[in-house]
Amino acid sequence: MPRIVLCIEYDGSNFEGWQSQPHGRTVQDALQTAVGEIAGHEIALACAGRTDTGVHATAQMAHFDTEADRPLSAWVRGVNAHLPESICVRWALEVDESFHARFSAYARRYRYVLLNRPVRPAILAGKVGWQHAPLSLPAMQDAARILLGEHDFSAFRAAQCQAKSPVRILSTASVMRMGDLIVFDFEANGFLHHMIRNLVGALIFIGKGEAATSWMSELLLMKDRQLAPPTFSPAGLYLCGISYPDRWHLPGEGRIIATPFIVL
């Protein structure tokens, strides 16, 4: 039975996250219905990383098994014809049954885009987070560097997180400014539930001058979620790349990409 892997882009604003729900208002539900139309039978998608309500993706990865014999173009153009405008399949590839979108991945990359100006966004509403107070870029950059390496991220873990261990290895934690936008990039071997939104919240807290850069080290050591700032808005969060071993020969978007944001 063929196994097909898809690279998917979506605007999560009007969906209640990735994972299928009885009411059907999720990205997975929309995709499974569309793929099923082309396959001619019900299918079940397994994804690389579940995203929450309001979170977007430029390169989500998912796979499914099918009895249907279709050209790869059918899994792209055909499926896209059955999807809402806010979701599209970017490419499809047939892989062997040992591939798994989640368990074969060794790294994931997320980007958070924050509008930092006194006035809230209009055109970019739902696509960026917003902080009206001025932020110190050097302070946030210094704090982000503290996060690099292997740490217990319990202070940045949601209470409902089901991960067996809070330890993760963060290989990228960078902050840069593009006009009124501040872009946070994170890459790790895995992320905890709400981990990135919690990290961004702490970095913004430091950027506002509410705490010293060294406070980030203290949070890591204390391992107490209640001592860290509240979870930040999902609006500016993007899943933008998954890394897999070269043996799968996936197109570049299946490894790591970070789509640049247009500065308006």
Upper half-sphere CA count for residue 174 (Cβ side, 13 Å): 10
List the one residue out of 254, 262, 263 whose CA is nearest residue 58: 254
Residue 135 structure tokens:
């932020």
Establish whether 224 is a catalytic residue.
no
* Active-site position among 11, 29, 52, 224: 52
Q: Rounded to an integer, what is the distance from CA 162 to the centroid of its chain? A: 17
CA separation for the pair 93, 3 (Å, rounded): 9
- Torsional class of 88: left (φ above 0), alpha (ψ -120 to 50), beta (otherwise): beta
Q: CA-to-CA distance for 68 and 1, rounded, in angstroms?
A: 8
HSE (side-chain half, CA atoms, 13 Å) at 189? 11
Sequence-ordered strand ranges (E) for 140-189: 149-152, 167-178, 181-188
Q: Other C-beta atoms within 10 Å of 73: how many?
A: 9
Pairing of strands 107-116, 129-131: parallel
In angstroms, rounded to a whole number, what is the distance separating the alpha carbons of residues 209 and 226? 20
In this structure, are residues 141 and 177 in contact, taking their beta carbons and an 8 Å threshold?
A: no
Sign of CA dihedral 61, 62, 63, 68: negative
| DSSP letter, residue 252 | G
Q: Which are the catalytic amino acids?
A: 52
